[in-house]
Chain A
């Protein structure tokens, strides 16, 4: 087992995980998939949110895995877990019942209201690329108190003025159709360039912080719509040696996700 010097510069995955983990301060129940959300929630448990409980889409609550899980249904999540729920209980009671504080979602495309596309690139009937679809994303968006989106790519193809297809609508689109969802929709978008935020219904995403060395203009150019900018844009504090050490030595020593 090699030990990485904590001074080593943060990789993209480490940066996104650390920034996302800080946003989880004081949150209790998190609905998370595998990958960066796993790293962010596990790091948050060791730092800003010791009481955090991760609920997985497979139905596992309160997992205590012996190894870092490779999928949301990894056998190591089940052995030693506090509960394993059926799908009707998970989606009906836990999510729709309003028990999730933060849901993590990803997407191929996001727009200024935090609506998400995970279905197709191009036309739905004759797509250029068929993507996996919603999974539980529609339910996570509609029912979590708020949603964090971690995007590995920040460019105008992913941050689009108009989605090719809206798989997962934020609350503004739902309300326009006469349906009031439980949650605020996307409240944080975390990328290598910075953090976009909105507080809820009626608000579009605004740039609230840039990563060190990134300018406001760079972020606006990488965004496919006319991105609004907060009155004062902060700089995201870089990952600390302690955060990186925890991530590398305790959370993901095998570098399953820290590739």
Chain B
């Protein structure tokens, strides 16, 4: 039923398996966004299951799902502004790769958060670069030649010539985001932390939106301001409840802080990490199995109560 095309256009609903097979190719540049909130973990796991290789991953906060994708041998290059396990510790695989090329090197392009934001802004607007008041005096331009300084064509506040750093656009082959809900055509609604998801989608050639639930068109249209990404920017809509675990989906389930802490220990030991992937990713056919394997008691521990917003009146012509 969810595949049924609507009167306003074709349904883009597909399975995670189909979406990853169709839009994530070996050697591709893949942006995975969601700033702590709505991290598309289930999509990362399906990329691992399908054995993608040589990906360039672009992600502001490279965290657990990136560590898992690196460990599974999917990633050869990482573009990021924060490579840590949130505030809970380290990413073991990423550190082994960067510190000791163990078991293989990982190319790393280091930015700051706003540097990454500006790359998405330039990418989404098809601009040649984007200026920002960062990086002056930093050692980062010395190790990242894409951080370049230009002279502003306009006088600065003091009337003198002004120098400013710029970053290049990023245009991923595909961007993957997770959201609370969308309609069948991909009008995607997000609330809570919205991060850089909209710009990351518009910067990309293709976009996969993974959602907690598909809703009827009327639900989206009752609150159009909540649509962060409109249908025209979306190529696939994947229904995947609890697909952001161990991160959270505002109003749906809470963050699994215990798993964040556990990951520092799991990832520190390569053998333990390999076993984790074997059991929880390769050992599950899809995310529904992963969710079932965790069990309802586990999910009850991440349940959240209601905090409803007051409805707004969009009005109607009388």
* Per-position 1/0 for B129-153, Cβ under 8 A of A: 0001111111110010000010000
Check A58/B112 contact, CB under 8 A, given A34-B87, A88-B199, A124-B139: no
Report the stretch among A11-19, A22-30, A162-170 that lies at the interface.
A162-170
Q: Is the Cβ of B196 less than 8 Å from the Cβ of A179?
A: no
Q: Which residues of B contact A132 (CB under 8 A)?
A: 82-84
Give which listed residue, A34, A59, A75, A130, contacts B95 with CB less than 8 A.
A130
Binds A, one of B64-72, B218-226, B247-255, B289-297: B247-255
Instruction: Find out whether the CB atom of A134 lies under 8 angstroms from the CB atom of B137.
Output: no
CB distance from B85 to the nearest CB of A (A): 9
Specify which of B84, B156, B165, B304 lies most central, judged by the most chain A CB atoms within 10 Å of its CB. Answer: B84
A135 interfacial contact with B, CB 8 Å:
yes
Residue of A33, A126, A178 with most chain B CB atoms under a 10 A cut-off: A178
Contacts of B254 in A (CB 8 A): 75
Interface residues on B, range: 35 or more
List which B199-213 residues lie within 8 A (CB) of chain A. 199
Contact indicator B114/A138 (Cβ below 8 Å): yes
Given the contacts A87-B113, A92-B117, A178-B163, A166 and B139 also touching, CB distance less than 8 Å? yes
Could you mark each residue 68-95 of chain A with 1 if its beta carbon is under 8 Å from any beta carbon of chain B, else 0?
0011111100111000101110011001
Tell which of B98, B248, B255 touches A130, judged by Cβ atoms closer than 8 Å.
Answer: B98
Bound Cα distance from A23 to B80, whole angstroms: 33
Interface residues on A, range: 35 or more
Instruction: Verify if B20 is at the interface (C-beta below 8 Å from A).
Output: no
Which 5 residue pairs spanning A and B have beta carbons closest together? A173-B137, A179-B136, A169-B137, A132-B84, A73-B36
Interface assignment of A254: CB less than 8 Å from any CB of chain B:
no
- Which residues on the B side are within 8 Å of A124 (C-beta)? 139, 143
**How far is B121's CA from A125's CA once the two chains are assembled, in angstroms?**
28
| Binding site secondary structure of chain A | loop
A174 contacts partner chain B, Cβ-Cβ < 8 Å: yes
20 intermolecular pairs with C-beta atoms under 8 Å apart: A71-B87, A72-B36, A72-B87, A78-B192, A80-B307, A84-B193, A84-B194, A87-B35, A96-B114, A115-B137, A124-B139, A124-B143, A134-B112, A166-B139, A168-B138, A173-B136, A179-B164, A179-B165, A180-B136, A181-B133
Q: Point out the residue from B143, B163, B194 that lies within 8 Å of A179, measured CB to CB.
A: B163
- The reply to whether B37 and A91 form a contact with Cβ atoms under 8 Å apart is no
Taking the nearest CB of chain B, how far is it from the CB of A104, in angstroms? Answer: 14
Does A170 lie within 8 Å of B137, measured CB to CB? yes
